[in-house]
Amino acid sequence: MGILQNLSKALGLSKDMDVEEYMDTMELENVDLLHEAADFYVKPVALESEADVKVIMDELKQRNIILLNITPMMRNQAKLRTIVNDLKTFVMKINGDIARIDNEKILLTPSKVKIVKRRG
């Protein structure tokens, strides 16, 4: 029996429910597993306009990690390139890090949080 199957069994998931469906269910239920506030958060942000850059920078200053969805801005490649370059400059300035996860997502970290970029 695989690890995911063991985890599913331990969590009481049926064979028909996958991990992604379980995570979506947990989000919908808005379950706070720790029952206390965290010091820092991982926050998803959709890049829809240049105004979102300030929000991202403010979140990074508060030491939150940003999972940036660039899909809404992909229709304007020139603007997207400029924004990503601005974010790279800002992240380097605060001693954070930035890495592309896939074609639609970028991970940005605050100061003193680094991303391992090599596989293996």
Structural domains for the chain: 1-35 (no CATH), 42-109 (3.30.110.150)
pLDDT digits (tens, 9 = 90+) for 15-34: 555 666 655 655 555 555 55
CA 115 distance to own-chain centroid: 12
pLDDT digits (tens, 9 = 90+) for 41-87: 999 999 999 999 999 999 999 999 999 999 999 999 999 999 999 99
Q: Integer distance in angstroms from the first to the last C-alpha of the chain?
A: 25
φ, ψ dihedrals at 104, nearest 5°: -115, -10
User: What is the model's pLDDT at position 118?
Assistant: 80
Give yes or no for residue 9 having a pLDDT over 70. Answer: no
Residue 101 or residue 27, greater confidence:
101
Cα Rg of the chain (Å, integer): 17
pTM (whole model) above 0.75: no
Give yes or no for residue 4 having a pLDDT over 60. Answer: no
User: What is the model's pLDDT at position 26?
Assistant: 53
Residue 34 to residue 15: CA distance in whole angstroms = 27
Give yes or no for residue 1 having a pLDDT over 50. Answer: no
